[in-house]
Amino acid sequence: MTIVNNITNQSKTRIIACGMIAREVLAINAQLGDVIDLQCLPAEYHFSPQKIAPALDLAITQAKAEGFKNIFIGYADCGSTGAIDKICDHHQVSRVDGPHCFAFYMGNVNFKEQDGDFVTTFFITDFLARNFETFLIKPLGLDKHPELKEVYFGNYTRALYLAQSNDLELEKQAKLGAAFLGLDYQKQYTGFGDLAPALKQATASK
């Protein structure tokens, strides 16, 4: 059984990714023909980016012990201020380019060309639209203390929904989220952005 597992693990690419992009990675995996073995770290690390690099260190070490020869990191820098890159360099693995998922969904080149235009923009992805209450409202205490909205979001002027899918229900939830925060709503369909070609290249390089 161990030999079979090692053969299977060597034939796939272990993607260690943020839980916020799990659905998208699985959708891309289906397009690529089931070549990815996905391991997700908790989406809640979005609120504590200092936890990401140590968790990646352990996850990469574990993946190597399980026999994976090709490992790719499904994180951008994500507020780690270079800590993720240090772990990647240490283990000689690569990650998705970009400062955060909003940039690689939008396309890193496009995001850089508009540098400075997003200072007052609050981004909503499919994940956040789907989990707005459980991932944002409750953790920030806005359900019990709505007056904190001004503290957290007073400097934002708009909510930009970066849509990975054409899902009318998710768009409805994104609009409700923007209204709850008192922000102007805009939508931009991005699909998977730079994530899809990054994963395609990563799985083709084994």
Task: Give the burial string for 52-85 (b: 16+ CB within 10 Å, else e).
Answer: bbeebbebbeebeeeebebbbbbbbbbbbeebbb
Q: State CA 197 to chain mean position distance.
A: 15
Model pLDDT, residue 111: 94
pLDDT at residue 1, as a whole number: 30
Say what percent of the chain tops pLDDT 90: 92
- Are 85 and 115 in the same domain? no
What pLDDT, on the 0 to 100 scale, is given for residue 2? 33
pLDDT value, residue 4:
38
Share the mean pLDDT of the chain.
Answer: 94
- The type of residue at 53 is A
Give me the phi and psi of 156, to 5 degrees please.
-90, 150
The whole-angstrom separation of Cα 136 and Cα 19 is 15
* Residue 133: pLDDT over 60: yes
CATH code of 87's domain: 3.40.50
pLDDT of 105 over the 90 cut: yes
Q: In the prediction, which pLDDT does 117 show?
A: 87
Q: Do 35 and 10 share a structural domain?
A: yes
Are 66 and 151 part of one and the same domain? no
User: 153-183: per-residue pLDDT in tens?
Assistant: 999 999 999 999 999 999 999 999 999 999 9
Pairing of strands 94-95, 158-163: unpaired
Neighbours of 119 (CB within 10 A): 9
Instruction: Please report whether residue 103 resides in a domain.
Output: no
Q: Domain residues for 38?
A: 2-97+192-204
- Cβ atoms of 56 and 96 closer than 8 Å: no
Contact (CB, 8 A) for 17 and 42? no
Please indicate, yes or no, whether residues 59 and 145 belong to a single structural domain of this protein: no
pLDDT at 5 over 50: no
pLDDT tens digits, residue range 16-67? Answer: 999 999 999 999 999 999 999 999 999 999 999 999 999 999 999 999 999 9
Residue with tokens 């990054």: 198
Between strands 13-18 and 70-74, the pairing is: parallel
For the chain, the domain total comes to 2
Averaged pLDDT for residues 106-123: 92
Residue type present at position 50 = Q
